[in-house]
C-alpha cells in the first residue's frame, strides 16, 4: 500500500535530482497501488479513486466526490468475491446472466409467442416471477396455483366449436394493460392476422360462389350446340351462332356439372381451415 506524502513535483526550484527522483518515485508508487491506505489520502480531490485497507482481509474501492467517500465495491482477499455497493456481487451477476428467466425479459409488453408445448424440452414463460409477467391464453387457468392465477378476471366463454368466443380482462395491478379485454387464443383456436386495424376479430368465412350451368344438346340433329337457360326459356346457339328458341327434353341434353372423384379421400370437418400445427399462445402483460 502506498500514499504519497506530497502527490506532486516541485514547481519552484532549484530542487536536487535526489529530491526530484524521490518525489516522482513516491507519486508513482501511490498511483500503481490505487492510493491505498487506511484512510483517504490528504491530496485526494473531487473525482479521485482510492483503496481502503482499514478492514482486515478486504480491499474497498472508494470514489471521492470532493465531500464524501462513496463505496464502489469490496473485495474479499481470501475468496476473491466482489460485492458492489448496492449489495449485489459478481457471482450473483454471473448467475443472473445465466438465469433461464432472463430470456423472457427481452419480450415486449403485449407480445404473443407461440410454443409447441407438445414437444419435450420446449421452454415456456415463467408463471410466478415478479419481473416478467406472462399469461397463457387459455380459459380456466385462474384458480390457485394455475398459470393465470391473480392475472385475469371476468373470463367469458361462449359458443361451440369451431365458433368459440373466449375473452378475459387483465387484472394484474402493475401491468400497463390493466383492465384491457383480451382474446384467449388457445381456447378460441384463433390465429393472428396482420391488419391496419388491430384488435378486430373475424370468424372463418368463404366467399360465395356464383354463376350458371350450361346445357348442351346431345341428339344428333342438334349438332351438340350450346343450350342456355334464360328466364326459364331454352335457346339454342345454333350452328351460325344465332340464339333460337328450342324445346328441349331430358333425353336431348346433358348438364355440365361439377363432379367429385370418389376415389379421392375428402378432408371434411366442421370448420374451414388451412393445414396447420397446433401450438400454445402466451402473452407478456408486465
The 10s digit of each residue's pLDDT in 38-97 is: 999 999 999 999 999 999 999 999 999 999 999 999 999 999 999 998 888 877 767 666
Q: Is residue 75 part of a domain?
A: yes
Do 43 and 161 share a domain, yes or no?
no
34 in a domain, yes or no?
Answer: yes
Residues 90 and 114 grouped into a single domain:
no
- Residue that finishes a domain, picked among 42, 68, 97: 97
Q: Is 198 within the bounds of a domain?
A: no
CA distance 76 to 166: 57
Order of strands across the sheet with 134-136? 112-115, 280-284, 134-136
pLDDT of residue 247: 54
pLDDT single digits (tens) 135-166: 999 999 999 999 999 999 999 999 998 899 99
On whether both 84 and 119 belong to a single domain, the answer is no
Nearest to 59 by CA among 41, 33, 22, 20: 33
Q: Establish if 264 belongs to a structural domain.
A: no
Which structural domain, as residue segments, surrounds residue 39? Answer: 17-97
Q: Is residue 260 part of a domain?
A: no
3-state secondary structure of 26: helix
Q: Are residues 22 and 87 in the same domain?
A: yes
Domain count, the chain: 3
Query: Cα separation of 47 and 61, whole Å?
Result: 13
Please tell me whether residues 65 and 186 are part of one structural domain.
no
Task: Name the phi and psi angles at 97, rounded to 5.
Answer: -70, -25
pTM of whole model > 0.85?
Answer: no
Tell me if residue 223 falls in helix, strand or coil. Answer: coil
Same domain, 174 and 281: yes
Same-domain check for residues 86 and 157? no
Q: Is residue 185 exposed (0-12), middle (13-18) or buried (19+ Cβ within 10 Å)?
A: buried
Instruction: Give me the sheet containing 181-183, strands edge to edge.
Output: 152-158, 165-170, 181-183
Q: How many residues does the chain have?
A: 286
The answer to whether position 89 is within a domain reads yes
| pLDDT, tens digit (0-9, with 9 covering 90-100), for 226-263 | 545 444 454 555 555 555 555 555 554 555 556 667 77
Residue 174 Cα distances to 111, 178, 179, 207, angstroms: 16, 7, 11, 44
* Domain presence at residue 177: yes
Could you tell me if 229 and 284 lie in one domain? no
Q: Are residues 112 and 188 in the same domain?
A: yes
Q: Is the pLDDT of residue 208 over 50?
A: yes
Q: What is the mean pLDDT of residues 174-186?
A: 97
| Residues sharing a CB contact under 8 Å with residue 60, sequence separation 6 or more, in sequence order | 51, 52, 54, 71, 73, 74, 75
Among the listed residues 238, 211, 212, the one whose alpha carbon sits nearest the alpha carbon of residue 227:
238
Amino acid at each position: 500500500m502506498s500514499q504519497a506524502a506530497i502527490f506532486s513535483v516541485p514547481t519552484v526550484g532549484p530542487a536536487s535530482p535526489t529530491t526530484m527522483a524521490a518525489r516522482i518515485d513516491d507519486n508513482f508508487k501511490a498511483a500503481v497501488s490505487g492510493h491505498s491506505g487506511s484512510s483517504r489520502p490528504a491530496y485526494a480531490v473531487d473525482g479521485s479513486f482510492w483503496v481502503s485497507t482499514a478492514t482486515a482481509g478486504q480491499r474497498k474501492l472508494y470514489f471521492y466526490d470532493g465531500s464524501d467517500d462513496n463505496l464502489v465495491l469490496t473485495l474479499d482477499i481470501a475468496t476473491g468475491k466482489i460485492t458492489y455497493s448496492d449489495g449485489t456481487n459478481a457471482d450473483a451477476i454471473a448467475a443472473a446472466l445465466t438465469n433461464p428467466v432472463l430470456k423472457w425479459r427481452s419480450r415486449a409488453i403485449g407480445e404473443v409467442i407461440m410454443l409447441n408445448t407438445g414437444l419435450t424440452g420446449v421452454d415456456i414463460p415463467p408463471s410466478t416471477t415478479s419481473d416478467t409477467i406472462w399469461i397463457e391464453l387459455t380459459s380456466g387457468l385462474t384458480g390457485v396455483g394455475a398459470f393465470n392465477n391473480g392475472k385475469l378476471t371476468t373470463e367469458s366463454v361462449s359458443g361451440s366449436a369451431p365458433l368459440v368466443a373466449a375473452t378475459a380482462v387483465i387484472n394484474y395491478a402493475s401491468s400497463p394493460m390493466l383492465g384491457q379485454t383480451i382474446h384467449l387464443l388457445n381456447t378460441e383456436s384463433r390465429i393472428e392476422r396482420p391488419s391496419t386495424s388491430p384488435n378486430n376479430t373475424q370468424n372463418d368465412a368463404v366467399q360465395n360462389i356464383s354463376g350458371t350451368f350450361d346445357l348442351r344438346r346431345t341428339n344428333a340433329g342438334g349438332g351438340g350446340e350450346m343450350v342456355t337457360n334464360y328466364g326459364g326459356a331454352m335457346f339454342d346457339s345454333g350452328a351460325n351462332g344465332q340464339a333460337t328458341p328450342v324445346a328441349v327434353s331430358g333425353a336431348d341434353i346433358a348438364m355440365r356439372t361439377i363432379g367429385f372423384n370418389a376415389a379421392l379421400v375428402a378432408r371434411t370437418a366442421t370448420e374451414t381451415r388451412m393445414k396447420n400445427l397446433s401450438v400454445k399462445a402466451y402473452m407478456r402483460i408486465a
